[in-house]
């Protein structure tokens, strides 16, 4: 009976923990701290280790000194390094002082690398073997290493006396090999490894292409410094994708969950881009003022301005989004710009002809077309159709090429956001529209 009650209590506690994990992001900071303190130690540790770095930092900032020491020592060195980078340099010395000497040395070494590079993502705790070990000796040695909380035990890495990477052995191969065999006989020497300075996006592509659980990180001398695991990369890729999505929407990257950003900070994050886009749209007003006489002579032209410029903006936004994503995934590189240009010219021309034909037919078949579009409705339809073709083609070219230009000059291609491309095409779209109008309507309406 007591066993049943204990099992029931454990089940309730587990359900409570799952419920808290699911609702954590929706809770206020005060509610999080209160519910976290109510958890038994075991469940609190489980929750703490499952939280994102930002949420861990929020809890540690409010913890008492002894509690800080307790919680930070639960984390692996690479997670501690992430926590210090999240909390800022002001907390660096305080947090490092809470660690044991060995972990402190490991964390300090990790902090020397960029946060978004392999060195900043890696863990320095991995299974090391010597090439002259027997399989039996290696298994015994791994049992000892496992007690030091190595990051992963999927692979064992074979190093020489200078810590240079010689090969890798999977645990499956290790346990299926004859006990007396040397590690040098069963290890794979053709090891996929990454340099410490490699960007996290490139590492993410390697993981997705090779289907690996971990990859070794080496310096310029071939000395192994650590491993990057799949879960580390998954978190980094999510952060990169979030950053790109924010940029595509014309927003500065949010440093915290949406509901945790203060109103003032949200205005700052969004206001900068809106101001830039607003100033850009002022050129649209300038362009319309330039063609004021044409508009006065043919008021019918003003009816189609929203149609024309929105078509160009939409096509440009589509092209920029597709190209930015292709660049991020490594599907296209800088030298592929001419291939992208060729595809987008054909695509833009085809889409422009399709939309232009629909606009042309719409004007011809619309009831009361003569009273709405004058007796020269055929020429007005031709003007609209030609303008749509030109604007969609130009929007597609602009949207697809702008990411390449930004990357060439050292900016993030994601900065070629949909709003930025739409603003650019709005201005040029008016020029294309009124140029087509002058070709078809001079001497008739103009």
Counting Cβ atoms within 10 Å, is residue 342 exposed (0-12), middle (13-18) or buried (19+)? exposed
- Give the Cα separation of 34 and 51 in Å (integer): 16
- Give the Cα separation of 277 and 88 in Å (integer): 32
For tokens 């090429």, the residue is 401
Name the DSSP letter for residue 155: E
- The pLDDT of residue 8: 44
Residue 183: pLDDT band (50, 70, 90) is very high
* Tens of pLDDT, residues 276-313: 777 777 777 777 777 777 767 777 888 888 888 889 88
Query: What are the residue ranges of CATH 1.10.357.20 in the chain?
Result: 258-441
- The pLDDT of residue 411: 77
* Tens of pLDDT, residues 192-235: 999 999 988 788 888 877 878 889 999 988 899 999 888 777 77
Query: What are the residue ranges of CATH 3.10.580.10 in the chain?
Result: 128-229
- The pLDDT of residue 213: 83
The mean of the pLDDT values for the chain is 82
- The pLDDT of residue 279: 77
What is the torsional sign of CA 92, 93, 98, 103? positive
Count CA atoms closer than 13 A to 60's CA, side-chain side: 29
- The pLDDT of residue 343: 93
Superfamily of domain 258-441: SLC41 divalent cation transporters, integral membrane domain (1.10.357.20)
Average pLDDT on 144-168 reads: 81
- The pLDDT of residue 301: 83
β-bridge partners, 128:
157
DSSP string, 39-52: S-HHHHHHHHHHS-
pTM: 0.60
* Least confident piece of the model among 122-136, 396-410, 415-429: 415-429
Average pLDDT on 323-338 reads: 84
Q: Are 164 and 222 in contact (CB under 8 A)?
A: yes
Return the higher-pLDDT residue of 273 and 307.
Answer: 307
Return the higher-pLDDT residue of 445 and 392.
Answer: 392
Q: Are 431 and 394 in contact (CB under 8 A)?
A: no
- The pLDDT of residue 348: 94
Structure tokens at 124: 């320095």
Average pLDDT on 363-388 reads: 86
- The architecture in CATH of the region 128-229 reads Roll (3.10)
Superfamily of domain 2-113: MgtE N-terminal domain-like (1.25.60.10)
Residue 151: pLDDT band (50, 70, 90) is low
pLDDT score of 385 more than 90: yes
- Give the Cα separation of 397 and 413 in Å (integer): 15
pLDDT score of 1 more than 60: no
Q: How far from each other are the two terminal CA atoms of the chain, in whole angstroms?
A: 95
Highest mean pLDDT among 170-179, 196-205, 336-345, 415-424: 336-345
Which residues, other chains included, contact 53 with Cβ-Cβ below 8 Å and sequence gap of 6+? 79, 82, 83, 86
DSSP string, 100-136: -HHHHHHHHHHHTS-TTBHHHH-BS---EE-TT-BHH
- Give the Cα separation of 446 and 425 in Å (integer): 25
* Least confident piece of the model among 30-34, 56-60, 248-252: 248-252
Residue 182: pLDDT band (50, 70, 90) is very high
pLDDT score of 13 more than 80: no
Average pLDDT on 26-37 reads: 81
Query: What are the residue ranges of CATH 1.25.60.10 in the chain?
Result: 2-113
- Give the Cα separation of 400 and 341 in Å (integer): 7
β-bridge partners, 224:
218
Q: Are 193 and 216 in contact (CB under 8 A)?
A: yes
- The pLDDT of residue 415: 65
- Give the Cα separation of 407 and 419 in Å (integer): 18
């Amino acid at each position: 009976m007591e066993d049943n009650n204990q099992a029931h209590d454990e089940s309730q506690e587990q359900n409570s923990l799952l419920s808290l994990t699911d609702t954590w992001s929706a809770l206020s900071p005060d509610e999080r701290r209160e519910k976290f303190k109510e958890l038994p130690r075991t469940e609190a540790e489980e929750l703490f280790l499952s939280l994102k770095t930002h949420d861990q930092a929020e809890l540690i900032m409010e913890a008492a000194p002894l509690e800080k020491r307790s919680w930070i020592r639960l984390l692996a060195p690479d997670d501690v390094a992430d926590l210090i980078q999240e909390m800022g340099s002001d907390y660096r010395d305080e947090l490092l002082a809470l660690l044991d000497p060995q972990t402190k040395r490991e964390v300090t070494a990790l902090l020397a690398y960029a946060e978004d590079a392999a060195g900043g993502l890696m863990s320095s705790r991995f299974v090391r073997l010597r090439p002259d070990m027997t399989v039996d000796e290696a298994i015994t040695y791994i049992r000892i290493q496992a007690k030091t909380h190595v990051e992963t035990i999927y692979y064992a890495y074979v190093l020489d006396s200078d810590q240079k990477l010689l090969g890798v052995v999977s645990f499956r191969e290790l346990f299926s090999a004859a006990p007396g065999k040397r590690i040098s006989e069963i290890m794979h020497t053709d090891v996929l490894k990454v340099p410490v300075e490699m960007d996290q996006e490139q590492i993410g592509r390697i993981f997705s292409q090779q289907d690996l659980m971990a990859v070794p990180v080496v310096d310029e001398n071939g000395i192994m410094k650590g491993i990057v695991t799949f879960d580390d990369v998954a978190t980094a890729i999510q952060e990169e994708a979030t950053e790109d999505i924010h940029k595509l929407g014309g927003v500065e990257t949010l440093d915290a969950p949406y509901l945790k950003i203060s109103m003032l900070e949200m205005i700052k994050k969004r206001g900068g881009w809106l101001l830039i886009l607003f100033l850009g749209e002022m050129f649209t007003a300038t362009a319309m003022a330039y063609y004021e006489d044409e508009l006065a002579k043919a008021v019918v032209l003003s009816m189609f301005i929203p149609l024309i410029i929105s078509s160009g903006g939409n096509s440009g936004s589509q092209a920029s989004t597709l190209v930015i994503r292709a660049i991020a995934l490594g599907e296209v590189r800088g030298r592929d710009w001419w291939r992208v240009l060729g595809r987008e010219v054909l695509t833009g021309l085809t889409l422009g002809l399709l939309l232009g034909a629909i606009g042309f037919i719409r004007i011809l078949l619309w009831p009361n077309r003569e009273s709405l579009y004058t007796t020269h409705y055929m020429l007005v339809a031709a003007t609209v159709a030609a303008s749509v073709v030109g604007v969609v083609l130009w929007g597609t070219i602009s949207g697809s090429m702008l990411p390449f230009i930004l990357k060439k000059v050292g900016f993030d291609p994601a900065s070629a956001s949909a709003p930025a491309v739409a603003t650019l095409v709005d201005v040029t779209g008016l020029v294309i529209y009124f140029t087509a109008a002058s070709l078809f309507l001079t001497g008739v309406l103009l």
